[in-house]
Structure 1
Amino acid sequence: MCTLALLGLAGTALSVGGALVEGQQSKQMADYQAKAYEQQAQADAQSAAFEQGQERRKQDLLQAQARAQAGASGVGIAGSPTEVLAANARQGQLDLKTIQYGSQLRQNNLNTQAAISRFSGKQAVTASIFKAGSSLVSGLSGLYDPTKSPTSSMAASTVPTRSVIFGSSPLRAPWAGNN
């Protein structure tokens, strides 16, 4: 009986410990995922900065080529060519801002994913604590069985019987009457 109780207690302890470990592992996994999202956001920022630099160089080359063509044609850089160059410069700036805006959107999304991942890790820890508590309560309540209680079986054996049979004639207790 004692061995079964100890086995039940050990099983409960394993169940409780397992639930807590599971929660911690889920949290670690969520933290690693969050870190990966943050690294992706940082990589996207670096990629966008590189892409903006490339676009800026491309725009500078186009502006230089446009000025050289205007100068080679013998037209002064005033009036219409100047307006074209200015429009090209504005479009180039708009392209750079578009790259930056797209990158910022992706970074925000990745950082939000990181925050969600961390939150789900914290939720997993909380859930594991409740699961461990539930396992502990159900395990401990399963250890106590009133029908197998040593006090209840001893009490049943000490109750006086109404008659005892010796040989072929029953002996009756004086309080039992003539039944």
Structure 2
Amino acid sequence: MCTLALLGTALSVGGALAEGQQSKQMADAQARAYEQQARADAQSAAFEQGQERHKQDLLLSQARAQAGASGVGMAGSPAEVLAANARQGQIDIKAIRYSSQLRQNNLNSQAAISRFSGRQAVTASIFNAGNALVGGLSKIQDPTKATASSTTAGAPTRSVTFGGSTLRAPWAGNT
């Protein structure tokens, strides 16, 4: 009977610890996924920035060609317009970079939160395992204290109490 109680306690403890480890593994996997998304976003933003630079270069080339075809010199107003367009293009590229950085920071924060929650799950599982161990061990009674001798009609009677139930030896009389 004692062995069965010990086995149950061991299973409870092992289950609590395994649950914590599984939660940590899931949290770590989620963190890796967030980090992978952050890297993918950085690559996507770099590509988008390159596309925007190429677009701005084409627009600048077209504006120069139109100014040259119209017979207007590149000094004065046309040059100022081209410079303003170039500045706006750089602002657009910086906005792409900034937006990507915000998304990456968010994903990296999510990864850190996920890892933290995994560590918390392991800690909680250790406490749950300890609770199961103490609870299980407290239900197992010391056989030297649980055995009581008494006499009924001159014959020795032995009884043992487990979990609130008293078991009497078959040779003992009813008391």
* TM-score tier after normalising by the smaller chain length: 0.7 to 0.9
Alpha-carbon deviation of 1:5?
1.1
Pick one of 117, 121, 132 that aligns with 1:120. 117
Residue from 15, 38, 43 that aligns with 1:41: 38
Q: What does 1:23-172 correspond to in 2, within 5 Å?
A: 23-144=20-141, 149-150=146-147, 153-154=148-149, 156-157=150-151
The higher-RCO structure (CA 8 Å, 6+ apart) is: 1
Partner Cα separation in structure 2 for residue 42 and residue 157 of structure 1:
80
- Find the aligned partners of 1:39 and 1:29 in 2 and give their Cα distance: 15
Q: Secondary structure at the match of 2:64?
A: helix
Name the one with the larger strand percent. Answer: 2
- AA aligned opposite 2:49: Q
- Give the CA deviation at 1:57: 0.2
Query: What is the one-letter code of the residue matched to 1:122?
Result: R
Q: Deviations over 1:38-59 (max 9, x none)?
A: 0000000000000000000000
Unaligned runs of 5+ in 1: 161-179
Paired positions, count: 152
| Partner residue, 1:169 | none
d(CA) in 2 for partners of 1:157, 1:18: 45
Distance, in Å, in 2 between the alignment partners of 1:128 and 1:88 is: 60
Q: Distance in 2 between matches of 1:75 and 1:129?
A: 79
1:31-78 residue CA offsets vs partner (Å, 9 max, x unmatched)? 000000000000000000000000000000000000000000000001
Q: Structure 1 residue 144: deviation in Å?
A: 1.4
Between Structure 1 and Structure 2, which shows a larger proportion of helix residues? 1
Where structure 2 has 5 or more consecutive residues not aligned to the other structure, the ranges are 155-175
Q: Give identity over the alignment, percent.
A: 77
Runs of 4+ in 1 over 4 A off after TM superposition: none
Out of 5, 8, 13, the position equivalent to 2:5 is 8
For the aligned residue pairs, the C-alpha RMSD in angstroms reads: 1.6
Shift of 1:157: 3.5
Counterpart residue type for residue 27 of structure 1: K
